[in-house]
Chain A
Amino acid sequence: MNKSLLDSLNSALLAALTEDERVLLLGEDILDPYGGAFKVTRGCSTAFPERVFTTPISEAGLGGVCAGLALRGMRPVLEIMFGDFTTLLADQLINHISKFRWMYNNSVEVPLVVRAPMGGRRGYGPTHSQTLEKLYLGVPGLTVAAPLNFDLPFSGDCAGGLLKKIILEGNSPVLFVENKLQYLLPMLGAFELKDFDVTVSYGADDTAKRYPYLTLAVKGAPAARLTLTAYGYMAELARQAQLKLAYEDEIFTELVVPTRLAPFDLALVIESTAQSGRLLTIEEGTGTLGWGAEVLARAAERLPGIHAARVAALDLPVPAAPALEKAVLPQVEDIIAAVKKMV
């Protein structure tokens, strides 16, 4: 049985604490035996009681505390219990944390990580189910990353492996966007992905090769007629749609999956779309002014005349009722329907 993405993140936190004494974990209810609302920090406080801090319910203050820790040489990792609550530290992220390095003429570094689980499909209702990372994309100085349930020889572990690298090697602030349903996904290796040709590359500016971009095509398929792009949990749904489209409808696609959403390197999407002529973006956040909108705008600037479309959540609060929630959030079937409309 493969370990889950949750196990991978948990091992990464323990490893980061083990390898560097400057790493501190802060968050609400993260101490054992509870180990955090989603158990990502399980075991950390038992192993490192001096460096794992349970905190008051003070997200804005905690954002600032982590900024101060990072400016004075620590490597704090802050858990926000639900991604919805990142709005409470928006001032810190936008006016403080992301600004310091540049506005101080590169005289400081702010190596901190804010981890936040986003996403719905668990019936938690409008304030505990949102996918809000689009609010933080395009904030200069703030990197936004999303893990992926892949662990391949060329990419490394795209969940915990990525998180560990960011904590230990990074020198700038990162919002690490997890997804609640992603936690239970098994990490997929070369065996589980044997039906796919997977290529791995890195953004031109990512000289440390920290953030893999993956491209998936069904093995042996003819040239793709459409390019899909998605990240995080939606990448997993897009992969399932890709397989069904290939086997049931003989519609072949290429799926580009970034693990870094901001700053965003579009090279792979451009390369794939230049060949396929069609680009479909897939995201769990609301569609208006979202990630997909930016990706499509940039692609259209480079490739005039492409056929472009988006799959996203409806512009509504995420409902609690399961039947309504399913209708508001994008499903595998929505991806398949959108692809069929385009080809």
Chain B
Amino acid sequence: MVDKKQLYHCMYRIRRFEEAVLDEFKRGVFSGTTHTYIGQEANAAGVIGCLQEQDVIVTNHRCHGHFLAYGGGMRALFAELMGKATGVCAGRGGSQHLHYRNLYSNGVQGGIVPIAAGMALAEKRKGSGAVTVVFIGDGTLGQGVVYESMNMASLWSLPLLVVVENNHIAQTTPTTSALAGSIPARFEAFGIRATELDNSDAATIQNAAEKIISEVRSASRPQALILNTVRFAAHSKGDDTRGAVEMDKLKAARDPLKILGARLAAAELDTIHREIDDEVQAAFQTALADPLPTLEETR
């Protein structure tokens, strides 16, 4: 658990990083694609703040927020997106394919879930006491392998937490066009307890996550945490089909920075903002000057 200042710090760090990414993409500094976490910061901050040193995180194409909340460096992530030798994976993976300490991400929907189950099984066998947390989205629920994984995770009593960040839209397809039935019932059918929140308050999410993670750890049983959330930016760069009025309403009601920021003193916010704005600038400039990788280095 971390205090609300730290939660805000974590979320503001993600927000400013992602805003810089979108700005600089327009200027051609980055190559490839990206999927920003803007609007969903309370999920990463709230859940990852509850993890212990030995815990494992498996994440997806929208992984910058999880990486930064886990303590990943801004320079390394900027450099990875720029295709530099100093990137998280020396430029080999790019935005969606990161490995840092006990955090792993991959860009194909669904396949990361059985991998997280296998990691939970390995940690259980080693007796490490680690909980494995896998982050998926509502779109991922369309993949059959998710349900194979839930079956095995429950059957083998794995210390696995599945966090569903339901932003109600998969690329451009709303959940109403892609999802039948109930999300919690999907997990409950396998004997996995599911908790659902509809909240962008990082402190509330952290309180729920703390309890669930501690239960997963002590009982060595899987659980699911369904976090209804709002993605403020496009799926990747410019491909948003939602209306501006609808988005403005959501941003006014569900901005995790505004929600938690209202409970911090103005001076505290100023300090955090200044510190992180400087960090973003310095990390970006350093990454920009970093060397390119060569094929020879990969052999």
List residues of A whose CB falls within 8 A of some B CB: 24, 53, 55-56, 58, 60-74, 76, 91-92, 95-96, 99-100, 102-105, 107-108
Contacts and interface: CB of A to CB of B under 8 A. Distances in A.
A56 B97 contact: no
B90 A105 contact: yes
B118 to A, nearest CB: 2
B111 A92 contact: yes
B114 A68 contact: yes
Contact of B89 (A61, A70, A104): A104
Most B CB contacts (10 A, CB to CB) among A60, A67, A68, A108 go to A68
Contact of B120 (A55, A68, A95, A108): A68
Nearest to A91: B111
Contacts of A70: 118
A309 B101 CA distance: 51
5 contacts: A24-B125, A58-B151, A64-B111, A99-B97, A103-B92
Contact of B114 (A24, A62, A76): A62
Contacts of A74: 122, 125
Interface of B: 56, 58, 89-90, 92-93, 97-99, 104, 106, 108, 110-123, 125-126, 132, 144-145, 148-149, 151-152, 155-156, 298
Nearest to B149: A61
A96 B149 contact: no
B97 to A, nearest CB: 5
A183 to B, nearest CB: 28
Q: Is the contact region of chain A dominated by helix, strand, or loop, or is it mixed?
A: helix
A60 B144 contact: yes
B114 A69 contact: no
Nearest to A106: B298
Nearest to A74: B122
A69 B122 contact: yes
Contacts of A67: 114-115, 118
A105 B151 contact: no
A105 B126 contact: no
A60 B108 contact: no
A108 B93 CA distance: 13
A324 to B, nearest CB: 34
A269 B266 CA distance: 75
Given A60-B145, A105-B92, A68 B152 contact: no
Contacts of A60: 111, 114, 144-145, 148
B69 to A, nearest CB: 19
B151 A68 contact: no
Given A68-B114, A71-B119, 20 more contacts: A56-B152, A58-B152, A60-B111, A61-B148, A61-B152, A62-B152, A64-B113, A68-B118, A68-B120, A69-B119, A70-B118, A72-B123, A73-B126, A91-B111, A95-B111, A100-B104, A102-B92, A103-B89, A104-B92, A104-B104
A66 B118 contact: yes
Contacts of B92: 102-105
Contact of A105 (B89, B111, B115, B155): B89
A72 B118 contact: yes
A66 B118 CA distance: 6
Contacts of B125: 24, 74
A56 B149 CA distance: 10
